[in-house]
Amino acid sequence: MPLSRSTNRNTFFYDATNPEVLLGGFRQNGSITEENFLFFLDILLVNLVDTVRVQARISSHIVTRTNTALETGAYDIYCDDRIQISREAWVRRLDSRSAVRRQNRFRDAIRDRDGGCVISGHRNLAESIEAEDWVSYEAAHIFPLACGSIWNRRRYGRFITDMPNSPQSERIHSAQNGFLLRSYIHQRFDQYLISVNPDDGYKIVSFTMNDDGFDGRILDPVCRDTTNPHRVSDFLLRWHFRQSVLANMRGAGEPIMPHHPPRTDRVGGIPAGPYEQGRFELEMAA
């Protein structure tokens, strides 16, 4: 059964004209500033970017575009027009572990570039690297392999610059579309529960409980060195961050699909339900 993204929320926002109806919410672990919150609303609200006023319900504090940490609690959105939440589709994804194993070239390029988990900062030991021991480290795709049809339709391959002689469809396997993560962080990244905002100094945002202290860290520079032609793509990081906002903050949030360990019956274990057709299609594609 899908899990709920709203369970651990501590910050909520409402239409001031209908203050009992929840528009959305999120988990504030400390890294989200007032400016970040307004940026999230730029993504979530339709055509209201310059006309809204966001006010804390209890203190009446007006949220402004500053680096002040956003207080937790309830916020009311005031606007002369009717407030509409974007219906932009989000891209459901599965953990891509089984697909990544078949992409040895991608995996090796990511290992060579990053040398450790770029979100947690844990580096693989030199002795382990020499022994080719990468247990618990996984090469994660930023844009999921199982959604290659979307990649092709939107021509995202044009943002990959280190495979100029490859077809657009094959560029999804570029090192620019990935980085090295610890396995459990990979799972959270695939579920949009943790993401990186390249437009905010590559700050890492955790959209769930910050039990590992990653929220507010900065993405390791090793994967984004501007002198490296294989550096991670800002466009794809931006795409993932937008998906994370859409998945976690609208209404009650999108469902979190259960993680399936390797060699389990992933397809046979999909029950009937409103999201299961999409899951079945993604599993078959993977």
The model's pLDDT over 130-167, given as tens digits with 9 standing for 90+, comes to 999 999 999 999 999 989 999 999 999 999 999 999 99
Sequence-distant contacts of 121-127: CB under 8 A, at least 24 apart: 121/217, 121/220, 122/182
Give ∠ CA 185-189-191 in degrees, rounded to 5. Answer: 120
Question: 62 with 112, same domain?
Answer: no
Looking at residue 50, its pLDDT comes to: 62
Predicted confidence at residue 212, as pLDDT, reads 84
Band (pLDDT 50/70/90 cuts) for residue 210 is confident
Q: DSSP letter at 250?
A: B
Residue 85 lies in a domain: no
How far is residue 127's CA from residue 4's CA, in Å, rounded to a whole number?
Answer: 41
Return d(Cα 141, Cα 145) in angstroms, integer: 7
Q: Output the pLDDT for position 94.
A: 61
Q: Give the pLDDT mean for 67-91.
A: 93
Weakest mean pLDDT among 73-87, 234-248, 255-269: 255-269
Is residue 210 domain-shared with residue 154, that is, in the same domain? yes
pLDDT at 35 over 80: yes
pLDDT band at 101; cut points 50, 70, 90: very low
Average pLDDT of the segment spanning 255-269: 55
Same domain, 105 and 183: yes
Q: What is the DSSP letter of 257?
A: P
* Number of domains within the chain: 2
Decide: 160 and 176 in contact? Cβ < 8 Å. Answer: yes
Whether residue 149 is found in the same domain as residue 50: no
pTM: 0.88
For residue 151, being part of any structural domain is answered with: yes
Q: What are phi and psi of 194, to 5 degrees?
A: -145, 140
Domain that holds residue 56: 11-79
